[in-house]
Amino acid sequence: MYISKNPAKSRPLSANVLRMMRLSRASPEGKSVVCENRHFTAKDLACCSKQGELFMEAASMGFTMDNFAPTFMTSQLAGVFDASFSSSAFINNDSLEDFLQIPVLLKSPQLIVEALYWIDDIISKTDADQNKSLALSEAYKAEKLKLPPALAELPKEQNRDIDALSYAYWLGFIYRCECLLHDESSRMVYGAFPEDLMRMAYQKLISGPLADSNLIDIAENICADLDRLLVEKIWPAEEEEKKRKQAVEMARPRKAHARHTERRWSD
């Protein structure tokens, strides 16, 4: 698997994300994360659903999400999705089919997954200073291309594990929600929310009271919970100070009660 850089370490959150988090979404002083003037439309949710189907198709083919999520979210293909699924793409268009730059997604998510790993295999064999676009162009002009190992090693039978497929759909869906909510690229969103963190969030969700809820109905709540985690990553010192003050406040009644008890016994 080729990833040009570790987005979680080498790609800090952009100024746009920080600005949105500070001004309109969350701050250490706030009691809760609030999303102002930005709610998911039916069109937004259609885009999220399409990406959820793509992730589910990858899981069905046999890819694990700890492999597929970073490969896709940091890829050039994800950049095409970002442009296609951005809020501005819908300004003068009401139809998902009309504006989508990659219409094959509407019919065959499998082709998108296969193309992703073909591209990944070609780029992984290039030198650091080699032009990646030129390498792809030359590879596609070649008479024969070897099947990428990632595709060749897939199991012959489809993955029918309902739990794995459900998580994959949820992951793709919520990643696109975050991209739309922050108006950020897939790469930047993955840098903030890597797959292992998302998996923990999903496990917490399905073991809680919202487990049986429709994903469309609770998508904004899920993003708000994820943003609380992001706030703690951005302002760890403030969060620690807040927790320290809370601990002090909790300890005061106990100390006062202890002193009162001591005086009563001494009398």
Q: What is the pLDDT of residue 112?
A: 85
pLDDT digits (tens, 9 = 90+) for 14-30: 555 555 444 444 444 44
- Do 120 and 74 meet the contact criterion of CB atoms below 8 Å apart? no
Mean pLDDT of 221-226: 91
- Measured CA angle at 185 (ends 129, 162), to 5 deg: 105
Give the mean pLDDT of 106-134.
82
pLDDT, residue 253, reads 61
Name the one residue in this structure whose structure tokens are 């002090």. 248
Q: Which has the higher per-residue pLDDT, 17 or 120?
A: 120
18: left (phi over 0), alpha (psi -120 to 50) or beta: alpha
- For residue 74, what are its two tokens? 């940091």
The arithmetic mean of pLDDT across residues 221-230, rounded, is 88
Whole-number Å distance between alpha carbons of 262 and 236: 39
Structural domain boundaries in the chain = 33-234, 237-267
User: What integer best gives the mean pLDDT of the chain?
Assistant: 76
The pLDDT value recorded for residue 108 is 78
- According to the model, what pLDDT value does residue 251 have? 75
Largest CA distance in the chain: 99
What CA–CA distance (Å, rounded) separates 229 from 3? 25
Q: What is the token pair recorded at 179?
A: 């991209």
pLDDT of residue 178 exceeding 90: yes
CB crowding 231-266: b at 16 or more within 10 Å, else e: beebbeeeeeeeeeeeeeeeeeeeeeeeeeeeeeee
